[in-house]
Structure 1
Amino acid sequence: MSVLLRKPVAVTGKIHDITPNKAAWERLGLGIYRLEPGELVAEPTGENEVILVLIEGRAEIGVEDRDFGELGNRMDVFDKSAPHAVYIPNGSDWSARATTPATLAVCAAPGHHGHPAQIIGPAGIHLEERGTGTATRFVHNIAMDNRDVADSLLVREVFTPAGHWSAYPPYRHDEDDHPRISRLEAACYHRLNPHTGFGVQRVFTEDGELDECMAFADHDVVLVPRGYHPCAAPHGVEMYSLIAMAGPQRKWRFEVHPDFRWLVERDAV
């Protein structure tokens, strides 16, 4: 199995605990919790800022001595409503107590005390259509660089219809040469409908030094340290992806693979 494909380590509780050390990169962390009603989790942020995303279910969220109350209105991720999300600065303690079965993502990257703890969704998050034909997908920009809500983190959700592609035409963001391209580590947490289905993601570089094609299951994570990273949902299987990114600059700039630029030019006409 590829080192880029990470399987859940448990059925409930903290099913993913991806740190920079475990991912063999510099900045990005991603934790995923699957919680039962009444279950409490609490963590310090340390040197990282954190964005909590309630992927499914409801939970009472607190940061230091501030109580944000019960958040969450999306009981099934595939209803495509905007998620509740909370930004937490570095040097803070946060807690979440599930009030229903809940799936909680914990996105982390270095923080610089540039933003206060605050709710950053669902207000300000809108479902946007991207791509054309069988590359059409739907995006929630939770904390991309068009929103000044974080110091380092970039977070988005992508809904890929059955039989469609995402991150396609293939593109990469692995060089720190802004504004042409940015260098961003990325982790993709995938969900599937039906949950017994599978998806496919290829992570590759032009020189062939990295070329991994992975079939992932419901709740798997795919790491993208560099290279192009398109993914596909088979016929009959709908796909959801939470994508967390971080790099030297909080900018999302990418380059399309040269062999596929004709698609961009064709579809722009």
Structure 2
Amino acid sequence: MNPTTGTTGRHHLPAGTAANGAYTVDITPATARWGHAALRVLRLPPGGTHTYDTGDSEWIVLPLAGGCTVTADGRTFPLTGRPDVFSAVTDFAYVPRDTRVTVTSPGGGRFALAGARCERRLPARYGPAPAVPVELRGTGTCSRQVNNFAAADTYHCDRLIAVEVLTPGGNWSSYPPHKHDEHHPGEESRLEEIYYFEIAPHDGTPGLGYHRVSPSGRGGNTDLLAEVRDGDTVLVPDGWHGPSIAAPGHDMYYLNVMAGPGDERAWLIRDHPDHAWVRSTWPARPADPRLPLYTAPTQ
């Protein structure tokens, strides 16, 4: 059961409801009813191969579980990958628009394809795990870990912004609530955002979490409170989003994929005025000692 309240239940996609063929999640600008951001989650059996065309979008192939080989634009990138999202930083591959991509996995696995419509055609290239900046954000019960593998200021893309967030059980992340649905140079970016969730089980028992989006007066006034479980996705076209709440005993992972119409590729947010004070309390409190769950490997 995946309860959702609010006026825009279509923005919460429980696991399996956005599946399409080899993709357990297949979100395009057309299906999301917006203009830029995309996400696919590809599941391959041992020895499996999948080929797709990038079209008018740039993509990052990010292993969630398992390793693979990515071939695109005349180049081949072996990706070591990882056992799961809760155990390690992963390497990844960037592939440009207007090319054909083949993903092959000898051992099988799951692979996120994070995409964004773009204009420039950048070269295909490899993203090594040791180069991924791992950030601890917030303190106390707002502590979380951010793997900035394709943040706006850490990895070069044309439009795509993507990061991973890990929240220990019982903590809040995406907090204070914030938004990026208006263009204000130097203050706020206009970005669509996708949240893809994985929830760690406890002694074999599936976990859950909660995610809130509240109206900002912009766009469609998205209003959503969703119980999220492993494999769920939430679309954020507008609005104040956060918190994302991890149930005690169940660590939460989410992949954020963002893109928008602005000429500048930047992640600039505005905190909700009722909750912005929370940030001022962080310097006086220690970070959650459970973090980091892991760090990037050394060279």
The TM tier, using the shorter chain, reads over 0.9
- Distance change >3 Å, CA 207–CA 174, structure 1 → 2: closer
Q: Which moved more, 1:214-223 or 1:200-209?
A: 200-209
- 2:178 & 2:278 partners in 1: Cα distance? 12
Q: Structure 1 runs of 4+ off > 3 angstroms?
A: 9-12, 206-209
- 2:12 & 2:215 partners in 1: Cα distance? 17
- Please state how far the C-alpha of 1:122 moved relative to its aligned partner: 1.3
Q: Does 2:226 correspond to 1:214?
A: yes
- Please state how far the C-alpha of 1:73 moved relative to its aligned partner: 3.4
Alpha carbons 2:138, 2:279 under 8 Å: kept: no
Q: Does 2:132 correspond to 1:125?
A: yes
SS at match of 1:105: strand
- Please state how far the C-alpha of 1:265 moved relative to its aligned partner: 2.5
Q: Does 2:44 correspond to 1:27?
A: no
Which of these residues, 195, 208, 214, is aligned with residue 204 of structure 1? 214
Alpha carbons 1:11, 1:34 under 8 Å: kept: no
- 1:12 & 1:99 partners in 2: Cα distance? 20
Alpha carbons 1:85, 1:121 under 8 Å: kept: yes
- 1:39 & 1:11 partners in 2: Cα distance? 16
Q: Does 2:265 correspond to 1:258?
A: no
Q: Does 2:73 correspond to 1:61?
A: no
- 2:266 & 2:20 partners in 1: Cα distance? 34
In the superposition, the TM-score normalised over structure 2's length comes to 0.85
Q: Does 2:286 correspond to 1:267?
A: no
- Please state how far the C-alpha of 1:65 moved relative to its aligned partner: 2.2
Alpha carbons 1:87, 1:149 under 8 Å: kept: no
- Please state how far the C-alpha of 1:211 moved relative to its aligned partner: 1.7
Which of these residues, 75, 78, 82, is aligned with residue 83 of structure 2? 75
- 2:110 & 2:132 partners in 1: Cα distance? 19
1:26-52 CA deviation, whole Å, 9 max, x = no partner? Answer: 111111112211111111111111111
Over the aligned positions, Cα root-mean-square deviation in angstroms equals: 1.8
- 2:158 & 2:64 partners in 1: Cα distance? 22
Structure 2 partner of 1:159: 166
Structure 2 partner of 1:247: 260
In the superposition, the TM-score normalised over structure 1's length comes to 0.94
Q: How many residues align?
A: 267
Percentage of identical aligned residues: 33
Alpha carbons 1:114, 1:150 under 8 Å: kept: no
